[in-house]
Amino acid sequence: MSCTFDDIVAVSTPSGLSPKAIIKLSGKDVVRHVQKFFLSTDALEITDVDGFRSYFGSMHLEAEKILIPVSLYVMKAPNSYTREDVVEIHTFGSPPLLEMIFEALLLVGKCDDCQPSDNGEEVVIRIAEPGEFTKRAFLNGRINLAEAESVLRIIRAKTDSEFLLAVSRLRGITAFMNEVQGGLMKLCAEIEASIDFSDQDIDLISATRIESQLLSLQEKINTSIEKNCISRIPHDGVRTVFVGWPNTGKSSLFNKLSNYQKALVSSIRGTTRDVLESVVKWEGIYFCITDTAGMMYGEDELESAIRKRTLDSLKDAHIVLFVFDGSVGVCREEIEFLCSISSDNVIIVLNKSDLPQHREKKRRCLEMDNYSVVETSAQTGQGLDVLKDLMVSTVLTKSVDMSASGITFSLRQKIIIEKVREVVVKLLDSLHQEIGYELIAIDLRCAIDIVAEITGEVATEDILGMVFSEFCIGK
């Protein structure tokens, strides 16, 4: 007889010693299984109750002859995360205790031990695969695929700021996708109506109107892709960018802060040619620090490419560290560049404080009210702790608005949204070439299907595998 019942169990808290741990079960018969071991303090049968309820009591493990105090949380289908019956067993986080409960639950579901169900199939509980609870929530219509991915990010969030970012993504992606999908569907419906009723005397959608709607969609997509640089970042940290004139000590500071020699340091101007990144963690906050080549005003091809990269990395920066060489005089263009940076979180780093300081320059920097100023020496390490503290307090005082970073897509979502953008470009092209509305409607439908891949309305096994394989067991 095949074991077709699919009740799952997992320890849903991180492994190791902790004051509390949760064992989670989901499936058709999980309440019945748990009931076999559970002695309620109020002598209540947990199978009796509908909806959501908590119980206190103990798990009676006959083989080990022990009673383990637990709280049970029972959520009956469909009012649970997976939309199946879910039981959470909350108990002490002792690994041996958890193992005993876990084994007892798995045993109760083993084929030789279990009772055939009403339809003759055997009852089985198996260990959940990574992300299986969330996968079921998706398959049973509780959440869409984009939301499932955001759940993954929330689970992985290591700090409050990352958590806030993950939550804001959850909202942002859903709203954005609804907007794009809604726009495409509305346009498609209008074009299809124009085709269907072309022989009737009603106002049909004009090519100009189709074009303006497509352009507006294209702009929305472009803006969201431009704002979205998260997939370039190893961990979603606070994006912190070093900028300034060459030779001011950016790479030396970058190396000191990231604790290793990643960037090449040299007294030759323009040694750093590329944008380097490093992730560091202070006070529980992850910072993704970027060292740029600095501002170059030369006109040759390489210098303008470097300038463009430096300016690009400024666009998405949460914090800008503007480095001055405190030992040399003020340069007008340097100050102009500083003032042109639109970020609210610019910290002036007056570096080379170990050398005799240029008094006029220091005075001018300290006079600039809009910026915090910190004096450092990458050579001696002086002031680096003050700089770190300033970065941390910039985040904690909420002047870094993590939620303002727009919608940030996962790599999968980004690939899909870029495909949608390609279709929109193709549609505009078709329109200019006066290709028939029928073909335009077909391409629009194709774009709608592509968008649906993000939310999971069109979900192939490949997509599901890609999303859920990144989860940990128990989520």
Q: Which residues make up the interface to ligand GDP (CB under 6 A)?
A: 246-252, 265-267, 271-272, 294, 351-352, 354-355, 377-379
In the complex with ligand GDP, the residue whose CB is nearer, 251 or 455, is: 251
Look-up of token digits 């279990």: 114
In the complex with ligand GDP, the residue whose CB is nearer, 136 or 352, is: 352
User: Rounded distance, CA 178 to CA 140, Å?
Assistant: 20
Closest approach, Cβ 346 to ligand GDP, in A, equals 16
Closest approach, Cβ 263 to ligand GDP, in A, equals 7
User: Rounded distance, CA 114 to CA 5, Å?
Assistant: 11
In the complex with ligand GDP, the residue whose CB is nearer, 101 or 276, is: 276
Q: At what angle do helices 461-468 and 132-139 cross, to 10 degrees?
A: 140
Closest approach, Cβ 265 to ligand GDP, in A, equals 4
Closest approach, Cβ 256 to ligand GDP, in A, equals 9
In the complex with ligand GDP, the residue whose CB is nearer, 130 or 246, is: 246
Look-up of token digits 């908590």: 54
User: Rounded distance, CA 428 to CA 97, Å?
Assistant: 64
Closest approach, Cβ 247 to ligand GDP, in A, equals 4
Closest approach, Cβ 131 to ligand GDP, in A, equals 43
In the complex with ligand GDP, the residue whose CB is nearer, 181 or 251, is: 251
Closest approach, Cβ 316 to ligand GDP, in A, equals 21
In the complex with ligand GDP, the residue whose CB is nearer, 303 or 443, is: 303
In the complex with ligand GDP, the residue whose CB is nearer, 378 or 450, is: 378
In the complex with ligand GDP, the residue whose CB is nearer, 272 or 405, is: 272
Closest approach, Cβ 320 to ligand GDP, in A, equals 14
Sheet with 276-282, edge to edge strand ranges: 276-282, 285-291, 238-244, 319-325, 346-351, 372-375
Closest approach, Cβ 370 to ligand GDP, in A, equals 22
In the complex with ligand GDP, the residue whose CB is nearer, 234 or 381, is: 381
Distances (CA, A) of 297 to 303, 337, 342: 7, 11, 19
Residues with Cβ within 8 Å of residue 11, at least 6 apart in sequence: 21, 22, 23, 24, 98, 102, 473, 474
SS (H, E, C) 123-160: CCEEECCCCHHHHHHHHCCCCCHHHHHHHHHHHHCCCH
Q: Give 188-192's long-range contacts (Cβ < 8 A, gap of 24+).
A: 188/441, 188/444, 188/445, 188/448, 191/437, 191/440, 191/441, 191/444, 192/441
Residues with Cβ within 8 Å of residue 272, at least 6 apart in sequence: 246, 250, 251, 263, 264, 291, 292, 293, 294
Q: 358 is written with which tokens? A: 């240029």
In the complex with ligand GDP, the residue whose CB is nearer, 120 or 356, is: 356
Q: Tell me the residue number closest to ligand GDP, measured at CB.
A: 249
How would DSSP label each residue in 285-298? EEEEEEE-------
Closest approach, Cβ 351 to ligand GDP, in A, equals 5
Which residues lie across from 319 on neighbouring strands? 240
Contact 97, 68 (CB under 8 A): yes
